Every structure is written in C-alpha cells, then in structure tokens.
C-alpha cells in the first residue's frame, strides 16, 4: 500500500493535471496542495471527496492504492496523451490497443486498482513509429 500523498500524485499524473490546477479546483493555495503530495499535510475528507468526484473514484481509492507499479508516469502514454500531441483519436486508440494486444491484465501498466486506462511505454510507441517510418521509406 502507498500513502495518501502518493495516491494523490498518481491520480494527478494519470489525469494530466498540474498541482496548480488542483489547488484552484479545491480553492486552496498551490503550496497547500503541494504539501498534500509531500505528506506534510493530510487533506480533509471534504477535499478527498471533491477530488474523488473529479477523478470519478471513491475516497477509499486514495487509501487503497496498490504498490505494484514500477513505471514512472513520465515513461508511459495513454490514448489521451497521444490525442494531446495532436494525433487523431482513432489513430491514438488503435495504436494503444495494438501495443497492448495480447497482454494479460497483470501485464498491463496500471497506477491504481481497477484502472481502465491503457498505458504503453513511450519507448514502445517511438519504436513502432520509427519502424513504420522505415517501412514507408523502403516502399
């Protein structure tokens, strides 16, 4: 199990939010939110409930985070991340689906229990696109 502070950071990164975004959403100063993630302060149940609404999860999900992740959020991409880079959504979805095809639930990159977002390593995406570009050049 990881701490609430780690769970807050993981949720924030998973949803591509900044600390400043969340501070504004909660109506607090950015320094106050930053202290939640460092563990210097604990958010109130009211704040956790509000964050749960934003992340579409239960307050319990901030306490029941599995520690089986071994990947930094900066090393992975989701369909949403590819969309934000300017890719067409169908392309993004197809690429992520293709790169996760055949992987068992246990092999999938997850940051929280029952996370339905599919993540792929940036290195996998890059390698696939470089191989595709090579094939285009050879034809």
Contact between residue 46 and residue 21 where contact means Cβ atoms under 8 Å apart: no
Q: What is the structure's pLDDT at 107?
A: 75
Percent of the chain clearing pLDDT 90 (strictly above): 47
Q: What is the structure's pLDDT at 6?
A: 82
β-bridge mates for residue 76, sequence order: 121
What is the architecture of the domain spanning 4-62?
Orthogonal Bundle (1.10)
Q: Which DSSP string corresponds to 45-98?
A: HHHHHHHHHHHT--GGGGT---S---S-GGGEE-HHHHHHTT--HHHHHHHHHH
Q: What is the structure's pLDDT at 69?
A: 52
Q: What is the structure's pLDDT at 1?
A: 46
Give the global pTM: 0.53
Can you tell me whether residue 120 is helix, strand or coil?
strand
Half-sphere exposure of residue 47: CA atoms within 13 angstroms, side-chain side: 17
Q: Is the pLDDT of residue 27 over 90?
A: yes
Domain ranges of the chain: 4-62, 73-138
């Amino acid at each position: 199990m990881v701490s609430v502070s780690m769970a807050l950071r993981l949720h924030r990164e998973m949803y591509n939010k900044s600390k400043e975004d969340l501070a504004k959403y909660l109506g607090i100063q950015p320094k106050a939110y930053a202290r939640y993630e460092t563990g210097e302060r604990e958010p109130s149940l009211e704040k956790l409930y509000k964050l749960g609404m934003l992340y579409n999860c239960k307050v319990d999900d901030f306490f029941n985070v599995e520690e089986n992740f071994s990947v930094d959020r900066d090393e992975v991409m989701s369909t949403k991340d590819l969309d934000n880079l300017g890719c067409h959504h169908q392309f993004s979805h197809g690429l992520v689906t293709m790169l996760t095809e055949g992987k068992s639930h246990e092999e999938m990159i997850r940051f929280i229990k029952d996370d339905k977002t599919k993540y792929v390593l940036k290195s996998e995406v890059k390698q696939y696109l470089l191989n595709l570009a090579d094939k285009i050049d050879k034809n």
